[in-house]
A = this chain, B = another copy of it.
């Protein structure tokens, strides 16, 4: 249940009610909001005097639901805005991992040449083998910081454990919760205390229900700057790396108020299919696309097969822009 308290209810009373209900207390637009388990269906008699409105839910998709908030939430990444009343589609690109200053400079230049705003690159990499490249860690973060200043770019980079969060939050404009740590509630709760945009990637083994419930950990802790990312789910089909779930995206657009970013690169796993899939993603009318590119994919230290060359990305950009025009969206 989401309860909006009356305007004149003060913090002490709001705290008491939240505590009574074992619930979360939020403060928004000048009034207190209480979020309980969806199992609670009625207002207690002793609370009724303080309650303005309340809303029941069938399950724990509450703050993230379109039932609660009709439109799409607006996310501010500095001066770049997605969701809300904009028809912006954030086109993010960059390499899988930060590997060197030279590499990341080339990526930054690609973005600038196309007028794009947001660079992706990982430094804490959640790899499936200890014997692979594990990312540059803190050193990579510092490189990203320099690039951000030098090129006036927004930076999105990932975390996979709560221990990395403070450091990443200091250097990134958008914190990416990696797919493999979507269930890491320690990170989610900590993100809820930050005042920073979060891109929550769907675990490849997670249902849509679980994805939205993961977002509720962040929202209920007070941070409403959450975007969702579909990046492919694991199915029986192994000719491609994962299976991009665009049916699920259609469901999210209908049922959730969070902006949606699509990552065709990890879904497909092979560069040859990325242009067609990216165009399909754009035609879905989503709030963002994240496409891996690399100055020299064959020599990348991770995701060798799926990163586009810069010329391939530039060519793709043209057709994405044409589709965006046709469906009334603006690439930012």
List chain A positions with a Cβ less than 8 A from chain B.
Answer: 23-24, 35-39, 60, 62, 126-132, 134, 160-164, 180-181, 183-187, 189, 203-210, 213-214, 216-217, 220-221, 232-251, 253-254, 267-268, 272-273, 276-277, 279-285, 319, 322-323, 325-327
Interchain CB contact under 8 A, B283 and A268:
no
Partner pick for A205 among B208, B216, B234, B249, CB 8 A cutoff: B234
Q: Which residues of B contact A35 (CB under 8 A)?
A: 131
Q: Which residue of B lies closest to A320 (CB)?
A: B283
Copies of this chain assembled into the complex? 4
State how many angstroms separate the Cβ of A180 from the closest Cβ of chain B.
Answer: 4
Q: Which residues of B contact A217 (CB under 8 A)?
A: 130
State how many angstroms separate the Cβ of A305 from the closest Cβ of chain B.
Answer: 13
The 8 A-B pairs with the shortest beta carbon distances in the complex, nearest first, are A205-B205, A250-B273, A161-B186, A180-B183, A283-B283, A240-B247, A37-B131, A280-B280
Interchain CB contact under 8 A, A238 and B240:
no
Interchain CB contact under 8 A, B129 and A216:
yes
Q: Which residues of B contact A23 (CB under 8 A)?
A: 131
Q: Which residues of B contact A24 (CB under 8 A)?
A: 130
Interchain CB contact under 8 A, B273 and A251:
yes
Interchain CB contact under 8 A, B234 and A239:
no
* Given contact pairs A60-B132, A130-B220, A235-B235, a sample of 18 additional A-B residue pairs in the complex whose CB atoms are under 8 Å apart: A23-B131, A39-B131, A60-B130, A128-B183, A160-B184, A161-B184, A205-B205, A208-B237, A209-B239, A233-B237, A233-B243, A237-B245, A237-B248, A249-B276, A251-B273, A253-B273, A283-B323, A323-B323
A34–B153 alpha-carbon span in the complex (Å): 42
Q: Which residues of B contact A267 (CB under 8 A)?
A: 247
A254–B240 alpha-carbon span in the complex (Å): 12
Interchain CB contact under 8 A, A236 and B239:
no
Partner pick for A213 among B128, B181, B242, B285, CB 8 A cutoff: B128
Interchain CB contact under 8 A, A204 and B205:
yes
State how many angstroms separate the Cβ of A14 from the closest Cβ of chain B.
Answer: 18
Residues A186 and B163 in contact in the complex (CB < 8 Å), given A240-B247, A242-B247, A327-B319:
yes
State how many angstroms separate the Cβ of A214 from the closest Cβ of chain B.
Answer: 7
Q: Which residues of B contact A282 (CB under 8 A)?
A: 283
Interchain CB contact under 8 A, B244 and A247:
yes
Interchain CB contact under 8 A, B161 and A131:
no
Interchain CB contact under 8 A, B240 and A60:
no
A243–B130 alpha-carbon span in the complex (Å): 28
Q: Which residues of B contact A327 (CB under 8 A)?
A: 279, 319, 322-323
Residues A184 and B185 in contact in the complex (CB < 8 Å), given A208-B239, A237-B248:
no
A272–B327 alpha-carbon span in the complex (Å): 17
Q: Which residue of B lies closest to A321 (CB)?
A: B326
Residues A247 and B254 in contact in the complex (CB < 8 Å), given A129-B60, A160-B184:
no
